[in-house]
């Protein structure tokens, strides 16, 4: 670890911090967690003891202003992102905010403007940018270009999920389109190195999901002509297949975006697997926080800026408009 590891405070320490972030920080080499905040002092202290975190707060402002915190990782529910990012920036701290960046593009623009005014770093935690699988897809894209079709799926069993707010539109902003569809959209943008210019979406809800969707199909058209589909659901088993169909072959991986088990990427030509790559994404969360820490130290740029988060949010907003109107929605590049 460098002599000046970046000290993170996690604002809104909850299930995601327990399952993903703390295991990632444990593998990181350039940063550590020195503080956390939760809604009550008791819960904050319990989490701090469980993970050996020195400081526990029930006040977000006190945590953000702590001299023992160099950077703030905002992991609160989606509707809180704008206020929490603004608070951390007001305390003079660079901010890494969980996806989706905001409830809508307007909120994202407010965060970006505040960070610019204060000349502070603002990044978005699109962790799939740090996966070995997405990097390998991107590197091998030249072997099949031009890409005609792309398909990304992300489903998980979301009934009775611990994050009960996921079914509250006023807090979550939407269902799996916002929650995990944004991951698939960002992964496709990253791999294809292209931008979405048109969106069409269909969605359905059920008695449990109520005002948010339980499943959806989002069709995307990219500026260079690739047509893509993103399928998302909180009603199917966990799966994240990814497929790119080009004129000269197909790249495919089953559960390509998962971080828990090895992934085999296949290059297919004429219906036959001609090459395979075996990769692992176990270091993705560590790479994400190490990359942000390096940017805080001024060593390199963080690859997922607030502007990147805004581009993804524009696609989400267009998808929800399309699902409501039945019309194709366009996005300016």
- Top-confidence residue, 88 or 4: 88
Percent share of the chain, pLDDT over 70:
99
The reported pLDDT for the residue numbered 324 is 97
Mean pLDDT of 148-170: 91
Mean pLDDT of 251-261: 96
The reported pLDDT for the residue numbered 172 is 95
Ordered by start, the domain boundaries in the chain are 6-127+285-302, 129-282+314-330
The reported pLDDT for the residue numbered 160 is 80
The reported pLDDT for the residue numbered 165 is 84
How far CA 224 is from CA of 136, 192, 304, in Å, comes to 21, 9, 22
Architecture of domain 129-282+314-330: 2-Layer Sandwich (3.30)
Q: Cβ neighbours of residue 217 under 8 Å, at least 6 residues apart?
A: 201, 202, 203, 229, 230, 231
Report which of 36, 19, 21 is spatially closest to residue 292, judged by C-alpha positions: 21
Residue 1, pLDDT > 70, answer: no
Percent share of the chain, pLDDT over 90:
95
Report which of 69, 114, 124 is spatially closest to residue 59, judged by C-alpha positions: 69
Residue 163, pLDDT > 90, answer: no
pLDDT-derived band at 166, boundaries 50, 70, 90:
confident
Residue 162, pLDDT > 80, answer: no
What is the tens place of the pLDDT at every residue in 281-308? 999 999 999 999 999 999 999 999 999 9
Residue 158, pLDDT > 90, answer: no
How far CA 29 is from CA of 23, 54, 135, 257, in Å, comes to 12, 18, 21, 23
The reported pLDDT for the residue numbered 164 is 78
The encoded tokens of residue 43 equal 């819960």
Residue 247, pLDDT > 80, answer: yes
Mean pLDDT of 221-227: 98
Residue 179, pLDDT > 70, answer: yes
Contact 15, 78 (CB under 8 A): no
The mean of the pLDDT values for the chain is 96
**DSSP H helical ranges for the chain:** 15-16, 22-27, 41-51, 60-65, 81-90, 105-117, 132-140, 169-172, 176, 182-192, 284-296, 306-325
How far CA 159 is from CA of 166, 209, 236, in Å, comes to 10, 9, 10
Separation between Cα atoms, residue 294 and residue 71, nearest integer Å: 12
Mean pLDDT of 5-16: 96
The encoded tokens of residue 319 equal 């998808």
Q: Does domain 6-127+285-302 have CATH number 3.40.50.720?
A: yes
């Amino acid at each position: 670890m460098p002599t000046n590891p970046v000290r993170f405070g996690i604002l809104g320490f909850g299930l995601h911090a327990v399952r993903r972030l703390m295991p990632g920080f444990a593998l990181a080499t350039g940063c550590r967690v020195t503080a956390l905040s939760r809604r009550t002092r008791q819960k904050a202290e319990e989490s701090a003891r469980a993970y050996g975190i020195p400081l526990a707060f029930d006040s977000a402002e006190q945590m953000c202003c702590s001299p023992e915190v160099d950077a703030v990782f905002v992991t609160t529910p989606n509707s809180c992102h704008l206020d929490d990012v603004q608070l951390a920036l007001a305390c003079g701290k660079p901010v890494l905010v969980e996806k989706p960046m905001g409830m809508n593009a307007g909120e994202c623009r407010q965060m970006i403007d505040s960070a610019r005014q204060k000349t502070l770093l603002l990044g978005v935690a699109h962790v799939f940018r740090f996966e070995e699988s997405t990097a390998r897809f991107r590197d091998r894209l030249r072997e099949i270009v031009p890409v005609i079709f792309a398909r990304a799926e992300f489903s998980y069993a979301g009934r009775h999920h611990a994050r009960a707010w996921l079914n509250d539109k006023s807090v979550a902003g939407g269902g799996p389109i916002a929650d995990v569809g944004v991951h698939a959209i960002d992964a496709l943008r990253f791999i294809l190195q292209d931008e979405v210019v048109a969106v069409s979406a269909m969605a359905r809800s059920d008695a449990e999901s109520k005002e948010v969707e339980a499943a959806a199909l989002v069709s995307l058209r990219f500026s260079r002509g690739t047509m893509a589909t993103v399928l998302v659901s909180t009603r199917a088993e966990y799966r994240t297949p990814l497929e790119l169909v080009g004129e000269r072959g197909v790249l495919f991986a089953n559960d390509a975006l998962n971080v828990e088990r090895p992934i085999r990427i296949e290059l297919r030509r004429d219906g036959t697997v001609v090459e395979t790559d075996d990769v692992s994404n176990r270091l993705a969360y560590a790479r994400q926080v190490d990359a942000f820490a390096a940017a805080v130290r001024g060593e390199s740029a963080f690859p997922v800026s607030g502007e990147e988060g805004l581009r993804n949010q524009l696609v989400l907003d267009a998808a929800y408009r399309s699902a409501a109107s039945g019309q194709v929605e366009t996005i300016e590049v």
